[in-house]
Amino acid sequence: MHLDEIRDGICESICSIEGHKLWDEILQETCPANYGFEVESVLVERNDIWVDVPKRTFNFKNLKLSFSARLVGSNLEDGYDQCFHFKLSGSGSFDFMNRSQSIQVEQIYIDENEDLILYGKSASRIK
């Protein structure tokens, strides 16, 4: 598998519905707490991913994450839904699947402080 194919595989894995589960883990740990969220889209360009093949790790920048979160309270009277759009950077790990024919991202870490991501104090908001 060539380097550009690996980068494409990482893009596809991060942005896929299965990849959303990795973002769910990050968003679940944010503070202040939310009462549920839904990842709407994840976009990253191949040129914004750098890969260390022997270590099976990667770094990324300019990843666009859009999600909605239920804030303040879980019921309709007390809470409300808020949409968020962020540009993030970070790193992760991957593994080769199907006899090295495909890529699966195993872990994602963001550089921005996840305790503040919901309010945009550490992440760049996309306009």
Return averaged pLDDT per consecutive 10 residues of the chain, 127 residues in all. Answer: 94 91 83 76 95 97 89 74 87 92 93 63 44
pTM of the model: 0.82
What is the pLDDT at residue 125? 44
What is the pLDDT at residue 82? 79
What is the pLDDT at residue 91? 97
What is the pLDDT at residue 32? 62
What is the pLDDT at residue 5? 95
What is the pLDDT at residue 62? 96
DSSP code per residue over 38-83: EEEEEE--GGGEEEETTTTEEEEEEEEEEEEEEES-SSTTT-EEEE
- Beta strands 80-97 and 49-52, pairing class: unpaired
3-state secondary structure of 15: helix
Instruction: Give 37's contacts (C-beta < 8 A, 6+ positions apart).
Output: 24, 27, 28, 67, 68, 69, 70
